[in-house]
């Protein structure tokens, strides 16, 4: 192998480059794939994940069915855990495909079926096994989130999402799933949420998943995910270019389903509640009109100046509903504002919070899981942009600081608990082009946060 490397064909500094050789020397293997992992100084679990992803893809597309990975030397236990989890996660993710809606799924006659990890240090065995389990569960959660998100709006309706939640529950004793129907929401006074679904023929659903891994006394982490299965903007209709991508407006909700599934798969000793308000936003004779005033479950009234700012209308009632769980923290996840894409691109999700410790924990979890967030302020100074002449607040705050004023709107419904808001408008899917598709973010960030809370790391 040293000889091979000396020839210089493999640029070892270029992460993900590979060199396939049939000269396996004394090894029993049929082939050897050398994998460039980048410069030693820059090497970490993220660059490693990138390299592994490219290798597994190549193996899958070649004739390899069974591969053994030799791990790079690691310095300590934590490092070994990180590398193994990244490897498993990256390998699973790199083989993700979405062909549910193709009449003939592309078949691979000799797919990569089995990956073995070679351990040189036996005493790390239990650590390795944990890392493999975590990596797999997170990858399945991401993959569930991607599948739901990639499905078109005519298939993935609020009703479909609710059915999926029931499917996840099946066979899991520690999970409870319930769905509030429009009549239930009406009784609760969810006038903001219901004003959005009034313009659609698909009934709204409020999906509730309760994972109980700890004693009933332990306060739950509540995750709230925006579940707009299609957002045409309503009467304030969106331009038609790329409007198909508004099927992704339920990515927050999908990430909540994926995260709850992963928590259950790992049997985490914590309580987590997932809440997904789900609806369509369409123009219709009965839809919200600009200027309409609606009353939220909290009693606060809202002037709907733009019907395309619908996410906050469904979220605000779901956030009020959270009170009943006496949450330890509430994290909402939403494809909330185009402005967030302008501010942060797809590299980081926006983070806004009323609690510094929670914001710091999420920032760190994002860093560690390579699913990063960047905090934006929600100072009181911004609140006046939501002033309305006719109601307690308007649902838009003008062009300036659009992501922040959206979060300021939500903050008026989250005063009773520690709360963070993740704006995933830029990170939840890859837009346009041949790579168009959901990313599964921020399932790995949320899982990293929950694994730490559950003291599993």
Residues 6 or more apart whose CB falls under 8 angstroms from that of 217 comprise: none
Query: Is position 212 annotated as part of the catalytic site?
Result: no
Size of the site for Zn ion (CB under 5 A): 4
Instruction: Candidates 147, 210, 249, 317: give the one binding Zn ion (CB under 5 A).
Output: 249
3-state secondary structure the chain: CHHHHHCCCCCCCCCCCEEEECCCCCCCCCCEEEECCCCHHHCCHHHHHHHHHHHHHHHHHCCCCEEEEECCCCCCHHHHHHHHHHHHHHHHHHCCCCCCCCCCCCCCCCCCCEEEEECCCHHHHHHHHHHHHHHHHHHHHHHHHHHHHHCCCCCCCHHHHHHHHHHHHCCCCCEEEEEECHHHHHHHCCHHHHHHHCCCCCCCEEEEEEEECCCCCCCCEEEEECEEEEECCCCCCCCCCCHHHHHHHHHHHHHHHHHHHHHHHCCCCCEEEEEEEEEEECCCCCCCCCCEEEECCCCCEEEECCCCCCHHHHHHHHHHHHHHHCCCEEEEEECCCHHHHHHHCCCCEEEEECCHHHHHHHHHHHHHCCCCEEECCCCHHHHHHHCCCCCCEECCCCCCCHHHHHHHHHHCCCCCCCEEEEECCCCCEECCCCCCEECCCCHHHHHHHHHHHCCCC
Measured distance CA(274)–CA(225) in Å, rounded: 8
Question: Which among 31, 130, 212, 238 is annotated as catalytic?
Answer: 238
190 binds, among Zn ion, Mn ion, ligand BES, none (CB under 5 to 8 A by kind): none
396 binds, among Zn ion, Mn ion, ligand BES, none (CB under 5 to 8 A by kind): ligand BES
Complex with ligand BES: residue 171 or 239, whichever CB lies closer: 239
Least spacing, CB of residue 378 vs Mn ion, in Å: 20
Please give the residue whose beta carbon sits closest to Zn ion in the complex: 231
- Site mask, Zn ion, residues 175-214, x = CB under 5 A? ----------------------------------------
Q: Is 105 exposed, middle or buried (0-12, 13-18, 19+ CB in 10 A)?
A: exposed
Complex with Zn ion: residue 309 or 322, whichever CB lies closer: 309
- Site mask, Mn ion, residues 208-247, x = CB under 5 A? -----------------------x----------------
Measured distance CA(163)–CA(158) in Å, rounded: 9
82 binds, among ligand BES, Zn ion, Mn ion, none (CB under 5 to 8 A by kind): none
Least spacing, CB of residue 175 vs ligand BES, in Å: 29
Complex with Mn ion: residue 280 or 308, whichever CB lies closer: 308
Least spacing, CB of residue 315 vs ligand BES, in Å: 10
Residues 6 or more apart whose CB falls under 8 angstroms from that of 280 comprise: 153, 157, 158, 197, 199, 200, 202, 228, 229, 230, 231, 232
Instruction: Candidates 308, 332, 361, 368: give the one binding Mn ion (CB under 5 A).
Output: 308
Residues 6 or more apart whose CB falls under 8 angstroms from that of 256 comprise: 209, 223, 224, 225, 274, 275, 276, 333
Residues making contact with ligand BES (CB under 6 A): 231, 249, 306, 308-311, 335-339, 396, 402, 425
337 binds, among Mn ion, Zn ion, ligand BES, none (CB under 5 to 8 A by kind): ligand BES
Least spacing, CB of residue 231 vs ligand BES, in Å: 5
By CB under 5 A, residue 231 contacts Zn ion:
yes
Complex with ligand BES: residue 230 or 419, whichever CB lies closer: 230
By CB under 5 A, residue 225 contacts Zn ion:
no
Complex with ligand BES: residue 263 or 428, whichever CB lies closer: 428
Question: Which among 146, 312, 372, 412 is annotated as catalytic?
Answer: 312
Least spacing, CB of residue 247 vs ligand BES, in Å: 11
- Site mask, Mn ion, residues 310-349, x = CB under 5 A? x---------------------------------------
Least spacing, CB of residue 21 vs ligand BES, in Å: 45
Please identify, among the stretches 81-89, 245-253, 269-277, 291-299, the one whose residues bind Zn ion according to the rule CB under 5 A: 245-253
- Of 156, 53, 57, 46, give the one whose Cα is nearest residue 101: 156
Query: Is position 110 annotated as part of the catalytic site?
Result: no
Least spacing, CB of residue 424 vs ligand BES, in Å: 9
By CB under 5 A, residue 82 contacts Mn ion:
no
Least spacing, CB of residue 116 vs Zn ion, in Å: 44
Complex with Zn ion: residue 249 or 368, whichever CB lies closer: 249
Complex with Zn ion: residue 18 or 346, whichever CB lies closer: 346
Residues of this chain that bind Zn ion (CB under 5 A): 228, 231, 249, 311
Residues of this chain that bind Mn ion (CB under 5 A): 231, 308, 310
Point out the residues that are catalytic: 238, 312
């Amino acid at each position: 192998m040293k000889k091979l490397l000396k020839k210089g064909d493999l640029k070892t500094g270029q992460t993900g480059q590979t060199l396939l050789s049939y000269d396996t020397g004394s090894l029993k293997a049929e082939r050897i794939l050398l994998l460039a992992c980048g410069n030693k100084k820059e090497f970490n679990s993220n660059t490693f994940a990138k390299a592994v992803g490219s290798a597994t893809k190549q193996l899958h597309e070649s004739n390899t069915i069974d591969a053994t990975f030799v791990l790079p030397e690691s310095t300590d236990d934590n490092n070994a855990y990180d590398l193994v989890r990244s490897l498993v996660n990256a390998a699973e993710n790199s083989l993700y495909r979405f062909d549910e809606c193709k009449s003939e799924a592309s078949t691979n006659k000799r797919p990569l079926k089995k990956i073995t990890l070679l351990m040189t240090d036996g005493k790390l065995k239990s650590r390795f096994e944990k890392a493999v389990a975590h990596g797999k569960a997170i990858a399945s959660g991401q993959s569930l989130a991607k599948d739901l998100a990639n499905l078109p709006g005519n298939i993935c309706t609020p009703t479909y999402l609710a059915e999926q939640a029931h499917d996840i529950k099946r066979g899991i004793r520690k999970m409870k799933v319930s769905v509030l129907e429009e009549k239930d929401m009406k009784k609760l006074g969810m006038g903001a949420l219901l004003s959005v679904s009034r313009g659609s023929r698909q009934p709204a659903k409020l999906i509730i998943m309760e994972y109980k891994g700890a004693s009933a006394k332990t306060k739950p982490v509540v995750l709230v995910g925006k579940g707009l299965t299609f957002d045409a903007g309503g009467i304030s209709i969106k331009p038609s270019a790329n409007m198909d991508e508004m099927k992704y407006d339920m990515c927050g909700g999908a990430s909540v389903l994926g995260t709850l599934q992963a928590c259950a798969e790992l049997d985490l000793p914590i309580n987590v509640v997932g809440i997904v308000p789900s609806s369509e936003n369409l123009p219709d004779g009965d839809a919200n009109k600009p200027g309409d005033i609606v009353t939220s479950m909290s009693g606060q009234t809202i002037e709907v100046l733009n019907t395309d700012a619908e996410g906050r209308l469904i979220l605000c009632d779901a956030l009020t509903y959270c009170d009943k769980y006496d949450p330890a923290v509430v994290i909402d996840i939403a494809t909330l504002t185009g402005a967030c894409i302008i501010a942060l691109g797809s590299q980081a999700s926006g983070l806004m919070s009323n609690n510094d410790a929670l914001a710091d924990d999420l920032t760190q979890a994002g860093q560690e899981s390579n699913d990063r967030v960047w905090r934006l302020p929600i100072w009181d100074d911004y609140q006046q942009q939501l002033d309305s002449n006719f109601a307690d607040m308007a649902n838009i705050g003008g062009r300036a600081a659009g992501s922040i004023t959206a979060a300021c709107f939500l903050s008026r419904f989250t005063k009773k608990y520690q709360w963070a808001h993740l704006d995933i408008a830029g990170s939840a899917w890859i837009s346009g082009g041949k790579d168009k598709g959901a990313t599964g973010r921020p399932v790995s960030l949320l899982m990293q946060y929950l694994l730490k809370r559950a003291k599993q790391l």
